[in-house]
Amino acid sequence: ASAQIGVTGLAVMGRNLARNFARNGFTVALHNRTEARTRELVEQFGHEGDFVPATTAPEFVAALERPRCLVVMVKAGGPTDAVLEEFAELVEPGDVIVDGGNAHFEDTRRREAALRERGIHFVGTGISGGEEGALLGPSIMPGGSAESYEALGPLLERIAARAPDGAPCAAHMGPDGAGHFVKMVHNGIEYADMQLIAEAYDLLRKVAGLTPAEIAEVFRGWNEGRLDSYLIEITAQVLTHTDADTGRPFVDIVADRAEQKGTGRWTVQTALDLGVPVPGIAQAVFARSQSGRTDLREAAASLPGPHPGGDGGAGSTGTARLPEAERARFAEQVEQSLYAAKVISYAQGWDMIRAGSREYGWGIDLSSVAAIWRAGCIIRAAFLDRIRAAFAERPGLPTLLADPEFAGELGRAQGAWRETVATAARHGVPAPGISGALAYYDGLRADRLPAALTQAQRDYFGAHTYQRADREGTFHTRWGGDRGEVRP
Ligand code: NDP
């Protein structure tokens, strides 16, 4: 036994993680169901470090130093269960099996409990950063026992991305499903972030009449400021790309139907179960679904309303381009709105992590989540360092919006933000993310919500009772009778 870590499942993610471990000086045992992949890896990248290729699972396990740490990077779902079962038979109590796939945290909880019974540490870990991240440094969100992190942590911290302050973007999130839960919410936030960026683009295009190349310039400018992030950076790249066949902006030749692999949906489903309001994430998931409903879109295409132009597409009225000074002013207004809505989405994401942590007793450090998302992952952004600082200073911060710095920014942005929402509505540009975020902001700020009326209605038709604002207790009004109030 000579390998400190093993990787089984050598498709893009597994292969790149294995190379990352090797490049960082670890001896890596390799295994894949189809042996050709193992051979290919060694042929192509064997020079990058020390690899111990294994043909069979027992050979792979035998190659590992104790306690054994092996990373499973196979297709999520059934294949992961099958592979875990196979390796559970081969390892010994005290060994650590890591699932780096995109598992649902409930599956991770189930697998962790089953393997714990057999004395095996099971670590469900979120890994973000895609193929490139896996190779050059991903953001790593491991769950599982504290003991397993003692063995595994130093390895993961070596291969993880580094935040600007040099800290590794890997940290123990909490027991059993905590890591995969945090990864799930990461993806939910990613959906929300992408939706907001798309809305900002759409507004600049259709209201201000900017070209994709000009919008790329605007985004590049934003990327120098508080919106500095990977997603803004790649958006600028995409917007400058021209389709080789037609010479048209690439964004205009891509079919406008967004797809999803399901982690955004999981986030919303889980939020519903936990009773956590994450409308920003939900809006983003639904916006993708709606874009794909060609049947609905065709049926509704002739409904009256403004058809903002700028894209030259069918039905475009070719909205006049705003004069230059107004264009700059509008871009500034959209920046304020995008930033404010982004803060709201992140606030919702953190609220959800706290709720999950409470529900499952994970004790997740909210500051640490922000710290390990500062680099390596898809939502990496400069402002995550400020979220880290906010929760480090006040771990009990009820919401990010209660942090004085973020609250101040939202306060200063809200005028422009309201303008943007009104402009979007007037021009017929759908902006569910930006406008929904404003509704969330106003919903939390409100002195009184019409939830009072909802409660009254519920009591009317279902005797669901209500509480009074002026007095303790639970009440019911005899709506069908004398309308007297009783305490049931
Ligand atoms: P895939 O999800 O495409 O899975 C392919 C790998 O799974 C191959 O090694 C394949 O082996 C193996 N496999 C499939 N079924 C079985 C089985 N029944 N028994 C044994 N091995 C099996 O690979 P990716 O590299 O894209 O992803 C790996 C995991 O990482 C997935 O869970 C994915 O969700 C997750 N992930 C992916 C990211 C990405 O950007 N791609 C980002 C973050 C996480 P064989 O070669 O024999 O077919």
pLDDT tens sequence across 259-286: 999 899 999 999 999 999 999 999 999 9
Binning pLDDT at 50, 70 and 90, where does residue 309 land? low
Q: Which of 155, 176, 197 is the last residue of a domain?
A: 176
pLDDT at residue 1, rounded to an integer? 75
Say how many Å lie between the CA of residue 81 and the centre of ligand 1. Answer: 12
Say how many Å lie between the CA of residue 73 and the centre of ligand 1. Answer: 6
Listed as own residue / partner, the contacts of 460-468 with beta carbons closer than 8 Å and 24 or more positions apart are 463/488
Q: How far is the C-alpha of 155 from the C-alpha of 372, rounded, in Å?
A: 15
Select from 309, 330, 331 the least CA-distant residue to 320: 309
Q: What is the pLDDT of residues 333-354, one digit of tens each?
A: 999 999 999 999 999 999 999 9
Select from 194, 177, 204 the least CA-distant residue to 361: 177
Same domain as 298, residue 239 = yes
The residue segments making up the domain with residue 459 are 453-486
pLDDT at residue 313, rounded to an integer? 44
Place of tokens 């993961």: 156
Same domain as 150, residue 219 = no
For residues 29-58, average pLDDT: 98
Tell me 141's DSSP state: E
User: Residue 349: what residue type?
Assistant: G
Say how many Å lie between the CA of residue 13 and the centre of ligand 1. Answer: 7
- Atom 4 of ligand 1 has which residue's CA nearest to it? 75
Q: What is the pLDDT of residues 96-106, one digit of tens each?
A: 999 999 999 99
pLDDT at residue 481 greater than cutoff 90: yes
Binning pLDDT at 50, 70 and 90, where does residue 307 land? confident
pLDDT at residue 135 greater than cutoff 70: yes
- Residues with Cβ within 8 Å of 422's Cβ and at least 6 positions away in sequence, in order, are none
Q: How far is the C-alpha of 172 from the C-alpha of 153, rounded, in Å?
A: 8
Catalytic residue annotation: 183, 190
- Residues with Cβ within 8 Å of 405's Cβ and at least 6 positions away in sequence, in order, are 386, 390
Say how many Å lie between the CA of residue 8 and the centre of ligand 1. Answer: 10
Atom of ligand 1 nearest to the CA of 36: 46
Q: Which of 176, 204, 219 is the last residue of a domain?
A: 176
Instruction: Tell me the CA end-to-end span of the chain in Å, nearest whole number.
Output: 70
pLDDT at residue 439 greater than cutoff 80: yes
Domain CATH for 226: 1.10.1040.10
Number of structural domains found in the chain = 3
Same domain as 212, residue 333 = yes
Q: What is the pLDDT of residues 281-290, one digit of tens each?
A: 999 999 999 9
Same domain as 427, residue 463 = no
What percentage of the chain exceeds 90 in pLDDT?
Answer: 96
Atom of ligand 1 nearest to the CA of 128: 43
Alpha helices in 103-240 (DSSP H): 105-117, 130-136, 146-159, 178-206, 212-222, 230-240
Atom of ligand 1 nearest to the CA of 74: 7
Domain CATH for 479: 1.20.5.320
Say how many Å lie between the CA of residue 387 and the centre of ligand 1. Answer: 33
Q: How far is the C-alpha of 313 from the C-alpha of 316, rounded, in Å?
A: 5
Pocket test for ligand 1, best of 20, 73, 132 (most atoms within 8 A of CB): 73
Q: Which of 176, 197, 224 is the last residue of a domain?
A: 176
Strand-pair partners of 123: 98
Pocket test for ligand 1, best of 20, 35, 41, 74 (most atoms within 8 A of CB): 74
Binning pLDDT at 50, 70 and 90, where does residue 202 land? very high
Q: What is the pLDDT of residues 218-242, one digit of tens each?
A: 999 999 999 999 999 999 999 999 9
Same domain as 393, residue 286 = yes
Sign of CA dihedral 192, 198, 200, 203: negative
Read off the tokens for 103. 């598992």
pLDDT at residue 300, rounded to an integer? 97
Same domain as 418, residue 479 = no
pLDDT at residue 59, rounded to an integer? 98
Same domain as 203, residue 59 = no
pLDDT at residue 318, rounded to an integer? 52
Q: How far is the C-alpha of 398 from the C-alpha of 391, rounded, in Å?
A: 10
Same domain as 276, residue 149 = no
Same domain as 63, residue 169 = yes
Select from 254, 268, 6, 231 the least CA-distant residue to 128: 231
pLDDT at residue 351, rounded to an integer? 98
Note the residue count of the chain: 488
pLDDT at residue 270, rounded to an integer? 98
Same domain as 223, residue 132 = no
Strand-pair partners of 485: 477
Residue 52: how many CB atoms within 10 A of its CB? 19
- Atom 29 of ligand 1 has which residue's CA nearest to it? 101
CB 285 within 8 A of CB 263: no
pLDDT at residue 312, rounded to an integer? 42
pLDDT at residue 125 greater than cutoff 80: yes
Same domain as 217, residue 163 = no
CB 195 within 8 A of CB 287: yes
pLDDT at residue 13 greater than cutoff 60: yes
Which is higher by pLDDT, 38 or 319? 38
Same domain as 209, residue 165 = no
- Residues with Cβ within 8 Å of 454's Cβ and at least 6 positions away in sequence, in order, are none
CB 27 within 8 A of CB 48: no
Instruction: Compute the CA torsion angle 175, 372, 385, 420 (nearest 10 deg).
Output: -90
Tell me 402's DSSP state: G
- Atom 42 of ligand 1 has which residue's CA nearest to it? 130
pLDDT at residue 314, rounded to an integer? 41
pLDDT at residue 319, rounded to an integer? 58
Binding-site residues, ligand 1, Cβ < 6 A: 9-14, 32-34, 37, 73-76, 79, 82-83, 101-102, 127, 130-131
- Atom 46 of ligand 1 has which residue's CA nearest to it? 34
Atom of ligand 1 nearest to the CA of 12: 25
Domain CATH for 79: 3.40.50.720
Pocket test for ligand 1, best of 8, 12, 13, 377 (most atoms within 8 A of CB): 13
